[in-house]
Structure 1
Amino acid sequence: MTDVTFSTLGVPQPLITALAADGKTTAFPIQIDTLPDTLAGRDVLGRGKTGSGKTLAFAIPMVARLGTKLAGGNRRGGMPLGLVLAPTRELATQINAVLEPLAKAYGLTTTTIFGGVSQNRQVAALKSGVDIVVACPGRLEDLMGQRHVRLDAIEITVIDEADHMADLGFLPGVTRILSATPAGGQRLLFSATLDNGVDKLVKRFLSNEVMHSVDEANSHVSAMTHHVFTMTDADAKNEVVRTLASGTGRRILFMRTKHHAKKLAQKLTAQGIPSVDLHGNLSQPARDRNLAAFSSGAARVLVATDVAARGVHVDDVELVIHVDPPTEHKAYLHRSGRTARAGAEGAVVTLVLPGQERDVADLLRKAAIAVKPIRVTPQSAEVTALVGEVAAYVTPTPKVESHRGGGQSQGANAQRKRAARGGSTGGQSRVERSGSTGQARGDRSGRPAQSKGTDAARGTAHTGRDSGQAANQPAGTPRQGGSRRASHAGGSKLMVGSVVRQNGGNRRSGR
């Protein structure tokens, strides 16, 4: 097939220039199919596999429509013109990263709205008259209820990964939000499937929609190779995991629980393989730091739960490893979709212990993937071929605790040890204790926590609301540590220590 340029699809010249500056000159199939209709103002239902280029498929028509109309003027505080709804904070952040350079071509402004961080910056952006909002449903509804934002002026609305919204139980909130937008506005909905109530959204909110389905809902990327490795026992599996993680390229390792993701990242780092974790127990700043370390190459390995299965895009992830096989085939496809994105190649490995063979075979059958299991050891040719060049050993960075104001007494040392274990210190302020406890409660429950701390502490208590972690965490998984430990669970030796106030002075704890 001949490459199709954005200019032939009717994309305005300012956006063609912005796309070219980012190295994008030819369109992907989903963009080729949808752009003529979306640029013409039609409602569109788009179905495409992960990594197919959906974000640009809706970002281009949104900016083209609003940029042509606004041309840099007539903004009203708290009344944006464009809205993108996303299921997770990570996806919202990445959508905004794609939108922002396009918006700048027309002098438009964008902002993100999600829980887990203070709402002050978000409220300030809204008051200043932001043009496009990329939001998770929970925090957006909060700000609507506080009257910081109205959706009366929305001209174009995008619902991205609607099926994941349904999986996380967000569709009632999405329905209320869409009901607050003008009925005559343009609406674009992108989803891998139309089950779990997504079809009801389409029927209620899209008008004379055009459907574009580039790939089957369960299809996997042709440039992706799949492998199933079986081992004799858990010890053999651990060695295979370490070997597969030791290459020079980026790898994502998926675990079933938050605790095991954190523990494996720490273990690999201690073995000279810089690793970071990503899961629901992390605060938003910790998630951002760990993703930044993975993106920059400071950490070559990301150990994650299913919170990273969708919406996390990092270039050149060459290997995805299902250390713990997922429980259903859609999770397998979305996890695997972190590699072989946008035409690149990648490999996926599923590790199977005795007793898991039948479940994994059923999983792959439903995902329409045919692969023969192979019994391996760390020295097997199939393993070493996926590792490629082995990276040099990286000496783990020790946790450094800096102290101000002279020496430390034995009592202070004991307090420091308790803090490292997740316990409270005698001089820790009430605000810090209530803030961290509230955040952890919010994480575990999936609802905003009610903290007795200050407004700043309460502002961080919405962490779990938009992340979907409660849905991703299997039932019966024990809670890890106390609420303070959950709030500060960094899981990586690359993280900067948090500041704890003690008896009028400051000291740093490498928690």
Structure 2
Amino acid sequence: MSTTFASLGVPAELVRVLAAEGKTEPFPIQAETLGDTLAGKDVIGSGKTGSGKTLAFAIPMVAGLAEMEVTRRPGAPTGLVLAPTRELATQIAAVLTPLAKALNLTVTTVFGGVRQNRQEEAFRRGVDIVVACPGRLEDLMGQGIVRLDDVEITVLDEADHMADLGFLPGVTRILAATPRDGQRMLFTATLDNGVDKVAKRFLSKPTVHSTEETTAPVQMTHHVFEVDPGAKNDLVRELASGRGRRILFTRTKHQAKKLAKKLTDGGIPAVDLHGNLSQAQRDRNLKAFGGDGVRVLVATDVAARGVHVDGVELVVHVDPPAEHKAYLHRSGRTARAGSSGDVVTICLPDQRRDVAGLLRKANIKVAPTRVDAASVEVDDLIGARAEFVAPQPKPVQNPPRNAAPRGQRGNGGRGRGQGARRPSDGQRRRGGAARRGGRGAATAGSRSGAGAR
């Protein structure tokens, strides 16, 4: 008899929401942890990327708060999820929101990179569950906009990535502001780099669940394509030319932007994702990649964790990452939730030793294959190519009707060298210028966006 969400004690309202989304049987990390988390116990959950950890804590958080019938108060959430990046915070909120709505709970996101006005408004109205990145949340706490003394359930997601980014001091201060007797869940890939100290300080007799040994092998096939420097660009273009979605990882923001433009100009629609983009640009590009018009995302490691898009069939390490953790998390954007996928690392001859060491630490065994863009190994991997898409011309901005011809613009319409006078200093100055109580029902909502300050 197969395990179902209902058999694990998930409330019927949430079972219906999950079924409507096509989720009828729990993944191993969910089946392992839900018995304890639904009972209110502290839990440490460990599993590979793409194993279903978000739903593993979203279900007990929503079910637990609804069962407590917590009261919604302005500036005092009762559920808190801490995430390391804006993208991950957004995706967690997207998972939480339909579940919360079914039980009359509300959700909002809090992170930097956007104006805080809307976040302030959400707290003034009162919100039940906050999905937050540590930096902006601490800012709002310092301004007195939010307090955490009513928090009943706290989740720390991707705790190891929090540590990698140096966020643990802020996380520690935030957790210290929540009640000691609240339920806490910590989900992480590893317990190193200070995560174990956080767990010991803030979790009370946690049960530890790891699905590393019990999950079925992830259907991910690894390839190393060794190529000469002069043939690398053609190989990258070929790998981007298939019909399915693919993510190409580069080392730098400039490379990501440049490659996305080059692919688009060459008939392969692509968008970029990196730290130089505004939040609105990130959201727009991720939405485009998740839609029908764009099948290639060129990204830096900002997309290595926390970005989930269905149907990514190929991940390409255009530039090998600096360390094995980044390799695993980049690669984890494909073969998610039981699906299959391929991972290609492009290796120049002088990178051979570094790539071999990287894969050894990641416990990946694969022999390099010498290729160029026309190699049969490349052709077999890519399969059918997508149709050429002509790049859209950029709109031409017409100059104002009264604009002077180029070369004649300047002070008084006279170009330099033609007797134009500089304004005096004076002219320049003048011209510059309670915890467990009754609950009022409300519909759920979320703020879209994504990451840490």
Query: Normalization by structure 2: what TM-score?
Result: 0.88
Q: Which residue matches 2:421?
A: none
Residue 267 of structure 1 aligns to a residue in which SS? Answer: helix
CA-CA distance at 1:74 after TM superposition: 3.4
Say if 1:383 and 1:465 are closer, same or farther in 2 by CA, change over 3 A. Answer: closer
Mapped contact 1:227–1:371 kept (Cα < 8 A): yes
Residue 187 of structure 1 aligns to a residue in which SS? Answer: strand
Q: 1:59-107 CA distances to partner (integer Å, 9 max, x unpaired)?
A: 000000112233xx83100000000000000000000000000000011
| CA–CA separation in structure 2 for the residues paired with 1:132 and 1:308 | 25
Residue 200 of structure 1 aligns to a residue in which SS? Answer: helix
1:85 is aligned with what amino acid?
A: L
- The residue correspondences of 1:3-14 to structure 2 (distance < 5 A) are 3-14=2-13
Please point out which of 164, 185, 188 is paired with 1:188: 185
Q: Which residue matches 2:109?
A: 112
Mapped contact 1:48–1:216 kept (Cα < 8 A): no
Say if 1:412 and 1:258 are closer, same or farther in 2 by CA, change over 3 A. Answer: farther
| CA–CA separation in structure 1 for the residues paired with 2:276 and 2:189 | 27
Q: Does 1:286 align with 2:286?
A: no
Q: Which residue matches 1:76?
A: 73
1:193 is aligned with what amino acid?
A: T
CA-CA distance at 1:126 after TM superposition: 0.8
Mapped contact 1:154–1:182 kept (Cα < 8 A): yes
Q: Which residue matches 2:153?
A: 156
1:64 is aligned with what amino acid?
A: A
2:199 is aligned with what amino acid?
A: V
Q: 1:117-138 CA distances to partner (integer Å, 9 max, x unpaired)?
A: 0000011011111100000000
Q: Which residue matches 1:227?
A: 223
- The residue correspondences of 1:343-492 to structure 2 (distance < 5 A) are 343-402=338-397, 406=401, 408-410=403-405, 466=452
Say if 1:408 and 1:294 are closer, same or farther in 2 by CA, change over 3 A. Answer: farther
- The residue correspondences of 1:19-418 to structure 2 (distance < 5 A) are 19-70=18-69, 74-215=71-212, 222-233=218-229, 235-402=230-397, 406=401, 408-410=403-405
| CA–CA separation in structure 2 for the residues paired with 1:8 and 1:247 | 42
Greater relative contact order structure (CA < 8 Å, 6+ sep): 2
Residue 359 of structure 2 aligns to a residue in which SS? Answer: helix
Mapped contact 1:268–1:274 kept (Cα < 8 A): yes
Q: 1:413-438 CA distances to partner (integer Å, 9 max, x unpaired)?
A: 999xxxxxxxxxxxxxxxxxxxxxxx
Say if 1:465 and 1:131 are closer, same or farther in 2 by CA, change over 3 A. Answer: closer
2:51 is aligned with what amino acid?
A: S
| CA–CA separation in structure 2 for the residues paired with 1:17 and 1:413 | 70
Residue 75 of structure 1 aligns to a residue in which SS? Answer: coil
Residue 121 of structure 2 aligns to a residue in which SS? Answer: helix
2:207 is aligned with what amino acid?
A: V
| CA–CA separation in structure 1 for the residues paired with 2:131 and 2:91 | 10
Stretch deviating more after TM superposition (157-166 or 2-11): 2-11
| CA–CA separation in structure 2 for the residues paired with 1:412 and 1:113 | 49
Show structure 1 runs of 5+ residues with no match. 416-462, 468-511
Residue 135 of structure 2 aligns to a residue in which SS? Answer: helix
2:66 is aligned with what amino acid?
A: G
Residue 339 of structure 2 aligns to a residue in which SS? Answer: coil
CA-CA distance at 1:4 after TM superposition: 1.7
CA-CA distance at 1:397 after TM superposition: 1.1
Aligned residues between the structures = 415
Q: Which residue matches 2:422?
A: none
Say if 1:318 and 1:413 are closer, same or farther in 2 by CA, change over 3 A. Answer: farther
Q: Which residue matches 2:14?
A: 15
2:387 is aligned with what amino acid?
A: A
| CA–CA separation in structure 2 for the residues paired with 1:101 and 1:465 | 21
CA-CA distance at 1:398 after TM superposition: 1.5
| CA–CA separation in structure 1 for the residues paired with 2:283 and 2:391 | 21
Say if 1:283 and 1:372 are closer, same or farther in 2 by CA, change over 3 A. Answer: same
1:7 is aligned with what amino acid?
A: A
2:331 is aligned with what amino acid?
A: S
Percent of aligned pairs with the same amino acid:
67
CA-CA distance at 1:344 after TM superposition: 0.4
CA-CA distance at 1:401 after TM superposition: 3.9
2:379 is aligned with what amino acid?
A: T
Residue 273 of structure 1 aligns to a residue in which SS? Answer: coil
| CA–CA separation in structure 2 for the residues paired with 1:44 and 1:409 | 69
Residue 90 of structure 1 aligns to a residue in which SS? Answer: helix
Say if 1:179 and 1:397 are closer, same or farther in 2 by CA, change over 3 A. Answer: same
Q: 1:202-236 CA distances to partner (integer Å, 9 max, x unpaired)?
A: 0000001000011169x995300000000122x21
Query: Normalization by structure 1: what TM-score?
Result: 0.78
Q: Give the number of the structure whose alpha-carbon radius of gyration is greater.
A: 2
1:335 is aligned with what amino acid?
A: R
| CA–CA separation in structure 2 for the residues paired with 1:148 and 1:410 | 53
Q: 1:312-334 CA distances to partner (integer Å, 9 max, x unpaired)?
A: 00000000000000111111000
CA-CA distance at 1:410 after TM superposition: 3.5
2:364 is aligned with what amino acid?
A: I
| CA–CA separation in structure 1 for the residues paired with 2:400 and 2:66 | 55
CA-CA distance at 1:386 after TM superposition: 1.6
Q: 1:4-38 CA distances to partner (integer Å, 9 max, x unpaired)?
A: 21001110000000111111100000000000000
CA-CA distance at 1:402 after TM superposition: 4.3
Say if 1:44 and 1:319 are closer, same or farther in 2 by CA, change over 3 A. Answer: same
Q: 1:292-346 CA distances to partner (integer Å, 9 max, x unpaired)?
A: 0100132110000000000000000000000000111111000000000000000
| CA–CA separation in structure 1 for the residues paired with 2:182 and 2:221 | 42
Q: 1:241-260 CA distances to partner (integer Å, 9 max, x unpaired)?
A: 00010011100000011110
Stretch deviating more after TM superposition (371-380 or 171-180): 371-380
Mapped contact 1:280–1:464 kept (Cα < 8 A): no
Residue 90 of structure 2 aligns to a residue in which SS? Answer: helix
Mapped contact 2:85–2:451 kept (Cα < 8 A): no
| CA–CA separation in structure 1 for the residues paired with 2:211 and 2:59 | 18
| CA–CA separation in structure 1 for the residues paired with 2:337 and 2:326 | 20
